[in-house]
Structure 1
Amino acid sequence: MRIVWLTLGIVSTAIGIIGLFLPLVPTVPLMLLATFCFARSSDRLHNWIITHPRFGPQVIDWQERRAIAKRAKIAATVSVFAAFGLSLAFRLPVGILAIQGITLLGVLIFIWTRPNS
């Protein structure tokens, strides 16, 4: 089972790093998932994420206080509006827009009701 957790952690980390360069790929949630996976498979990689200057503080804020940085909340909000705007621009069917809109609204409510870090 350890190899499964390790593989999931590596994949999550890789996609999270890609998210640093692609605006609609969420980096922090993927790093949280990687941290969770590495805690079950690799102390070395778990410690790497926790002590990483870019990822570590956000992961620790979430683990200790379930807090999200205001800057991250703003970036997430911009990404949500950009994603929905693209869906509108591509003229997706109304049913899909409704499902996407409700889901994205739920995401924004969740994000903005968390404490600031």
Structure 2
Amino acid sequence: MMERRPKLYSLAAPGRWILFVLAWVCVALGVVGIVTPVMPGTVFLILAAWLFARSSPRFENWLLTHPRLGPSVVAWRENGVVPRWAQLVATGSMAGSFGLLVVIGLSVPVLTIIGAIFVAVSAYLLTRPVT
């Protein structure tokens, strides 16, 4: 008698493909974030792992076991840990971005909303355990 295998995916094929493509976009952004000081890469890699978990367990495993990309994602999943340098770069990037938005002259209501989001994200990041 043939054993019935559990269904690996909960989404229909088009939904999985969309998540799969978004995961690769996040991997690309994560790599850019690793090599440039302007953008934090860890956040995009964590998001990519989440997207791969819902679209391709094979590529989720590839990301988690990758020697350069995987350790920060695994640390996040196991303990909610964000490296101190990533916390500082992310917070600094948001502060710099906010300053640029002020200089280009966004309206006060828009700046208020963006500022509140940046403060909330920074507070969350800075309260995570450090490696």
TM-score class normalised by the smaller sequence = 0.7 to 0.9
Matched with 2:89 is: 75
- Matched-pair identity in %: 37
| Aligned positions of 1:27-106 closer than 5 A | 27-106=41-120
Residues 1:16 and 2:22 are matched in the alignment? no
User: 3-state DSSP class of the match of 1:40?
Assistant: helix
How many residues in Structure 1 have an aligned counterpart in Structure 2? 117
Give the TM-score normalised by the residue count of structure 1. Answer: 0.84
Matched with 1:5 is: 19
CA RMSD of aligned residues (A): 1.9
Instruction: Look up the equivalent residue of 1:38 and give its one-letter code.
Output: F
Q: CA deviation at 1:95?
A: 1.1
Where do 5+ consecutive residues of structure 2 fail to align?
1-12
Where do 5+ consecutive residues of structure 1 fail to align?
none
Give the TM-score normalised by the residue count of structure 2. Answer: 0.76
State the distance in 1 between where 2:32 and 2:107 align. 29
Instruction: Look up the equivalent residue of 1:62 and give its one-letter code.
Output: W
